[in-house]
Structure 1
Amino acid sequence: METTNDSTGGDFILVGFSEHPELELILLLFVLTFYSVTLVGNVAIISLSILDTRLHTPMYFFLRNLSVPDLCFTTSTVPQMLVNMWGGSKKISYAGCMVQYWVALALGSTECVLLAVMAVDHYVAVCWPLRYATIMHPKLCHLLAASSWSSGFANSFLQSSMAMVLPHCGNQHVDHFFCELLIIVKLSCVDTGPTESKMLIAWLIILCIPVSIILTSYVCIARAVVKMHSAEGRKKAFGTFASHLMVVSLFFGTIMFLYLQPKGNYSQDQSKALSVLYMILAPTLNPLIYTLRNKDVKKAVKKLVGKEQE
């Protein structure tokens, strides 16, 4: 059989969960439910943080910046996933696949850095409350947000550029529910070892540096909370700390397990299941965890609803 270089065209086949058809309907309902909650929750956070002046603070500025990639990240993959599970065709065009892994990687990388920035913001708020407004100046906040977005898109551009030049030679079956970059690379008919090594280095940088910043910030926060004299203050601070840590652990834990584990332990079914967690569950939890018990958000909702009823 003659093999051709299809790196510039041809449809890909997203295998998804077709090997387990009995699970597809259950998974379809699960994904549709959480995606709907993700849309509502993140759109609400973005809207409230813009419309209500009481939420014009660094915390909500960064939360708004986190909601945007969460919203776009899931939207770049989930609709295609739902279409594939609902319909018979599981095709995606080469251009669509390229855009999907480029956007997903850019937004996922951006979120990694944003979570680190939010941990630093939390650290300053807890450990330097009297100097918080001075330190977290609007110019610094905008600079940190811009750095997060630029580093995320730079990482995506770097890794996607390495993948785009590889020939596929007719191998178009993607054993996943979206165009995951590493799987696309492995479809190539040439030696991908050097490319995968370069991507691993990029992943180590975009994951390990933010995780180190987050852990350092949270250790300092924990020490500051323990020294608080007020039991009520400690309880409130630890509640916020624990909820933030849960979000970070879910997001980074699944990604690091997927991309940094030894090849001998790799299972594609396991990869798909974990991908559902960090691509669908984490963006759903972010707006809930960060705002569920927040009085300012509750007041903003009541104010907005009150205006609509008048």
Structure 2
Amino acid sequence: MAGVTRDSSVVQFGFVEEAVEWRLRSSQFPSKVGGKPSWLSLCELPGPEELSCELCGQPCVFLLQVYAPVPEKADCFHRTVFVFCCRNVACYSFNDRRSFKVFRSQLPRRNDFYSYDPPPDEPLDDVEGEGLGNPCGVELCRVCGCLGPKICSRCHVAHYCSKDHQVMDWKAGHKKSCVEGGGSKETGVSTFLFPENELVVEPEEMQPATDPEREPESSTEPAAQLAVDNITVPDFASNCLDEKELEAMAKSESEEDKVFQHFKQRIAIEPEQVMPQLLNHLNVDTLDTSIDWGTLAVYTCAESCDTDNKYVPEFLWKQDYSH
């Protein structure tokens, strides 16, 4: 995955690595893929309606979060962007972004949730000791980790974001533990969430590369003419296309080749970066259909306006490959 910081000349690469549980806690300000969200602000979380797919109405699942602070801006000392998506394969159609949700959360350095000092580089025995606790008393859905306003009427321990997740958890084993009076905040549901991994972010280090715009030194002929000379045209096509049309087609192919060459040279600098291959880490492939996309581009407020501890929806553009 590649991203551009506020300085448009700097590109940040994301690499998926095996998760170390304590490093993915909210107090560590992680970037991560899959699992449950590690919320930044612990108040004013987006509710079930805000996190429902606009097409099927089902709860969206947490996809990833990127910690992207703006230290020079006082109220953006901590800043994280959260991305959610629908689990329903039928909701993924060409260039349709309605199955995705994006939210931005930001906090000043001195806030109600975390220590003013940087987090420790090793785990603490007391999880609450890593921050200032949760003054809002927010309860999370034990299936997806999102806001859980609903509660099991029998054990009064398990919280859920929706009836769908309550039913899912009931079938996965809560029925037994609840009836036996051993209500727990842990769930047996594991198939809804994506596999959890840490997202390690590093800046791109540019290396000298061949300029794709540069023509071969040994050639004195225009690129378009070279392309035309190398095309074998069937007899039926030569009867339909005149010389100008052939040259236009060849020139178009030549320009597309240049763009693709430039793309390959750029990503060759960091071949392990997580781009569309993020899908490979989510275990979403099936024999017939699969969750799919080409590129997901997230646009946030250019000024990172103060959110007052609230989660602000942002814009996502889903761009699929043309067929």
Structure-1-length-normalised TM-score: 0.26
Of structures 1 and 2, the one scoring higher in RCO (CA 8 A, sep 6+) is 1
Asked which structure has the greater CA Rg, the reply is 2
Structure-2-length-normalised TM-score: 0.25
Structure (1 or 2) with the greater strand fraction: 2
